[in-house]
Copies of this chain bind each other. A is one copy, B any other.
Amino acid sequence: MPAPAKIGRIGVLTSGGDAPGMNASLRAVVLAAKHHSIDVVAFRHGYEGLLNDDWQHMNESDVLHILQYSGTIIKSARSERFREADAPAAAAQVLDKHQIDALIVIGGDGSFRGAGHLGSVWQKPIVGIPGTIDNDLYGTDATIGYATAVETAMDALDKIRDTAEAMDRVFIVEVMGRHAGFIGLSSAMAAGAERMILPELQKQKPLTVEALVKHIENVQKVRGDSSYVMVLSENQWPGGAVRLAEQLEDRLHLPCRPCLLGHIQRGGRPTASDRILATRIGVHAVNLVMAGANQVMAGIIADQPVATPLADTWQQRKGLSEEMIQIQQTLFNPVKRTAPTSVAEPQA
């Protein structure tokens, strides 16, 4: 790490798909910076704001009570323009005009690629904060927003269970996570879903309609009247949950209903865990900037603040928990057992 330069003013932006807790991390960045008498300037709408010189000062009063709200008060965007070759130079000019000594980027892998792109021209400290519901970044046990998205998906699955159980129906619930099954796996376990279809598992051994039909029939044989809830990560089935429901209905001659959770998974009050994570990582990011770190992401691993090179965060792969997959696939997989239990009945 280079000898840290004196930091007088930090720039901050939120970029890419918004995630619950982005505001909490922004608040922590501002309060921590102010604690060290560092000025904070936010660029609005992510990298677009940097290119458009769309900025605002951030003071304590701007962030005081925002940690309970989702979204981002400085707005986010996906910037196509910023991928162009001349974008970094234009952005650097804006940063220099505002006398920015370091930049904190709150977002996902696309945002961190942008930070690398910018770093090719602007060589002052850039530190990333992992703000994405997908949890698909190496270098932190959990990303900011992931826990809230799981809670929202679980809450929807609980609601679906109510009606599924009342009507003895099959439901296929599509959740976010086209490249990573974290939301799918965790929400399935939390809600006790009978089945899950995740990108990581589909890559290994894609499920067939036949296998699904057989499993549903097995469950019904063991349980009698009952509901069956399946979690499907988006993009893992041709035609999605709507098509899969049709295919199952054709075969089972039972009502099978699709449910697409969509963007509600990005909103809602952040959970306590996301607010705490966002606060800790936000403070840590300011500390990293002050220590002269550059092109790293602030994260928490095994409850300790760590820094990981930005490039590693998307190039290295964080896998799903094998233990959780194993539990989910066996525990909730009732099979008609033929062998009698080996013990005598208790005597009342």
Enumerate chain A interface residues (CB-CB to B < 8 A). 6, 8-9, 14, 17-18, 20, 22, 27-28, 31-32, 35, 37-39, 41, 45, 55, 57, 60-61, 64-65, 67-72, 75-77, 97-99, 141, 147, 150-152, 154, 156, 158-168, 171, 186-187, 189-192, 222-223, 225-226, 257-260, 262-264, 266-269, 271-273, 275-276, 279-280, 283, 302-303, 305, 321, 323-324, 327, 330-332, 334, 337, 339, 341-344, 346-347
Complex alpha-carbon distance, A72 and B28, angstroms: 25
Contact A346 B97 (CB under 8 A): yes
A17 to chain B, nearest CB (A): 8
State in angstroms the CA–CA spacing of A67 and B323 once bound together.
19
> Which residues from chain B contact A283 at a C-beta distance below 8 Å?
327, 331
Are the C-beta atoms of A257 and B262 separated by less than 8 Å? yes
In angstroms, how far is the closest chain B Cβ from the Cβ of A338?
Answer: 10
Q: Is B64 within 8 A of A223, CB to CB? A: yes
Query: Does A272 lie within 8 Å of B162, measured CB to CB?
Result: no
Residue of B nearest to A60 (CB): B334
For residue A161, which residue of chain B has the nearest CB? B65
A226 CB contacts on chain B under 8 angstroms? 64
**In the bound complex, what is the Cα–Cα distance between A57 and B346 (angstroms)?**
9
- In the complex, which residues of chain B have a beta carbon less than 8 angstroms from the beta carbon of A321? 303
A334 to B222, CA, bound (A): 38
Q: A167 contacts which of B77, B147, B327 (Cβ < 8 Å)?
A: B77
Q: Which of B37, B98, B337, B344 contacts A337 (CB under 8 A)?
A: B37
Pairwise interchain contact B276-A186, C-beta atoms closer than 8 A: yes
Partner of A260, one of B154, B223, B262, B330: B262
The answer to whether A341 touches B264 (Cβ under 8 A) is no
Smallest CB gap from A53: residue in B: B348
Least distance between A94 CB and chain B CB atoms (Å): 10
Contacts of A98 in B (CB 8 A): 346-347
Using Cβ atoms and an 8 Å threshold, which residues of chain B touch A171? Answer: 263
Complex CA distance for A271 and B155, rounded to whole angstroms = 9
